[in-house]
Amino acid sequence: MNDLASTAAPGRTLCPPAVRAALRRAVPGLAAFAAVRLLGLVVLMAWSAAAGKDWHTLLTARWDSLWYTRVAEHGYGYTLHLANGAVHSDLAFFPLLPWLERGLSALTPLTAADAGMAVAWLSSLAAAWALYATGERLHGPRAGVALAALWAALPVGVVQSMAYSESLFTALAAWGCYAVLTGRWVWAGALASLAGLTRPVGAAVVAAVWITAAVTVANERAGGVRWRALLGGRHRRMLLGAALAPLGWCGYVLWVGARQGSPTAYLDVQGGWGNGFDGGLAFARFIGHQLAGPALPAGLGLLAGVALVIWLYVRGVRKGQPLPLAVYGGTVLFLALTAKGYFGSKPRLMMPAFPLLLPLAAGLARWRPARSWLVIALVAAGSAVYGAFWLNGSGPP
């Protein structure tokens, strides 16, 4: 694994000219991302029209988007009691997306639902920019373009266009990891805190900041740097960033605990939804059930998919993926695979784990452009068709 010192520079705040220059370099990556997502939307519109459904409703007013919109419009406090005994509380949904929906709908003619979709679309572009910047820094501009395009072309990439929180979270997480890579520790801490207000998996960004800071301090101590020196200069900014990182996640979980009168209230809320951590036992039983029944092909495909994502993670680490990306991607993957709940949502839960795509992006960057773009085009077409089929069928929970 690369030493962070080889990729990090002393923290500086980006000046506007530098931001403009970085954005100009990212234009090819943003264009590739937008083209893939536009293809997905066109196919969704055509499929929905043929099925007699409204594509706009599918993106803004179904599943989790309804819960986010309700929080945006009415605040927290809604609980749904199901016939099977399950208790679904809106406290399961972290507040940053509903806050943005409420603010944007107050400032524009958009409804809260449409504001959620607008936030998702803008956030997905911000995420694509961060992915381009990460790929460019580690493997060159072509890898940055490929990384942004591959993330857009994920099988569940259509979620990036929905009024869900995945795009917003990925943008904050990706820029937070990039801030760690470039030594901008205060920015990293602030972005990690915002990511922690967006999704429970915001803890992965906190882990990336904390573990990278701890390894940096340990390496410099091993090199003879005294504690007094570690408390000054950029190290002071690193400590401040580490202190900021958990505030969003911890703040919301503690607020839920205070509201419900129990320190384990958030875990109880998740339990009411059938979610929680069980070390992957429920998921393993689900795969075993698939393999033992008539759904054997689906079970084998699921097993192959799990093996693929684990292989991609190991491949990235062995190729020297920088520590913050390895920690972040590994934590997202671990939490997704070891959580119980609705198993059809696991691909969506793994979508923010963009570092898993870095080995593929680096490989495509070494190919001839025509060959690499043909592969991306085929993957994008498959993603568009699957996304349209998925949303017009069972769809994401």
In the prediction, which pLDDT does 16 show?
Answer: 80
In the prediction, which pLDDT does 10 show?
Answer: 45
HSE-CB for 277 with a 13 A CA cutoff: 7
Can you state the angle between helices 323-338 and 296-318, rounded to 10 degrees?
160
In the prediction, which pLDDT does 60 show?
Answer: 96
- The whole-angstrom separation of Cα 31 and Cα 125 is 10
Q: Coil, helix or strand for 359?
A: helix
Residue given tokens 């381009």 in the structure block: 132
CA distances from 66 to 271, 273, 275 (A): 20, 16, 19
Using the CB atoms, write b or e for 42-55: b if 16+ within 10 Å. ebbeebbeeeeeeb
In the prediction, which pLDDT does 231 show?
Answer: 66
CA distances from 352 to 194, 283, 313, 335, 348 (A): 15, 20, 13, 12, 8
Share of the chain above pLDDT 70, in %: 93
Q: Coil, helix or strand for 211?
A: helix
Low-confidence ranges of the chain (pLDDT < 50): 1-14
Q: What is the DSSP letter of 95?
A: S
Q: What is the pTM of this model?
A: 0.93
Domain definitions of the chain by residue range: 4-391
Can you state the angle between helices 166-181 and 112-139, rounded to 10 degrees?
30
Measured CA angle at 149 (ends 144, 150), to 5 deg = 100
Q: Coil, helix or strand for 351?
A: coil
Q: Over the stretch 95-109, which tens digit does the pLDDT of each residue have?
A: 999 999 999 999 999
Terminus-to-terminus CA distance in the chain, angstroms?
Answer: 36
Contacts from 19-28 at CB under 8 Å and sequence distance 24+? Answer: 22/133, 23/129, 25/132, 25/136, 25/141, 26/128, 26/129, 26/132, 26/133, 26/136, 26/144, 28/132, 28/141, 28/145
Q: What tokens does 260 get?
A: 């419900």
Measured CA angle at 178 (ends 176, 180), to 5 deg = 75
- The whole-angstrom separation of Cα 234 and Cα 220 is 13
In the prediction, which pLDDT does 2 show?
Answer: 42
Q: 277 pairs with which residues across the strands?
A: 339
- The whole-angstrom separation of Cα 115 and Cα 112 is 5
